[in-house]
Amino acid sequence: MTPPVYLTPLDIGWMIRDLTHQILDSKQRFRQVVGIANGGLSVSRPLAAALGLPHTSVRISHYDGGFRRSTPIVEGELIPPTNNLIVDELIDGGWTYNTFDEHFGLEGNAMAVLLWNPNGPKPDFYVEEKPDAWVIFPWEKEYAECGLKST
């Protein structure tokens, strides 16, 4: 079994910096940044600040206490429906990406993530391919359970 990969707050900061530069270099202009709660908010808030854009969020939950739900919970609205930068921490299997597309639509919007699994849908912007291991971010409880500090 491959050991998990723990990303530090410093790793996340550098990745958000890289993502910001990619978006600015693309010359695309967005109305707002839309973070997908929960994990995406830790990326979308600083990204919105770096880009000088308003921030809002939606919630998509596929799990309940570690168990996969048969039907995801989706909360929030996407106003305006287009020209938004949709942000999550990663695309792995594509469940959240596809659920977002089904409920809100990705056409006319762009998707940005820190990590992308090449077996999942490809976002418009990403920093690195996801390693072939479970990735633990500083905002997850597993991070603290291993004695690591996120600050």
- Which tens digits make up the pLDDT trace of 110-143? 999 999 999 999 999 999 999 999 999 998 877 7
Has residue 150 got a pLDDT over 60?
A: no
* pLDDT computed for residue 131 by the predictor: 94
* pLDDT computed for residue 147 by the predictor: 62
Residue 48's SS3 state is helix
User: Cα separations (Å) of 19 from 58, 77, 81, 104?
Assistant: 20, 25, 23, 23
Angle at 40 between CA 6 and CA 114, to 5 degrees: 55
116: its two tokens = 């992308």
Sequence ranges of the domains in the chain: 33-145
- Model pLDDT for residues 90-115, shown as the tens digit of each residue: 999 899 999 999 999 999 999 999 99
Please spell the DSSP secondary structure of 108-145, one letter per residue: T-EEEEEEE-TTSPPPSEEEEEPPSS-EE-TTSHHHHH
CATH class of 33-145: alpha beta
User: Cα separations (Å) of 103 from 81, 89, 114?
Assistant: 11, 19, 22
37: its two tokens = 């709660």
Confidence of residue 58 (pLDDT cuts 50, 70, 90): very high
User: Cα separations (Å) of 121 from 66, 67, 140?
Assistant: 23, 23, 24
150: its two tokens = 């996120």
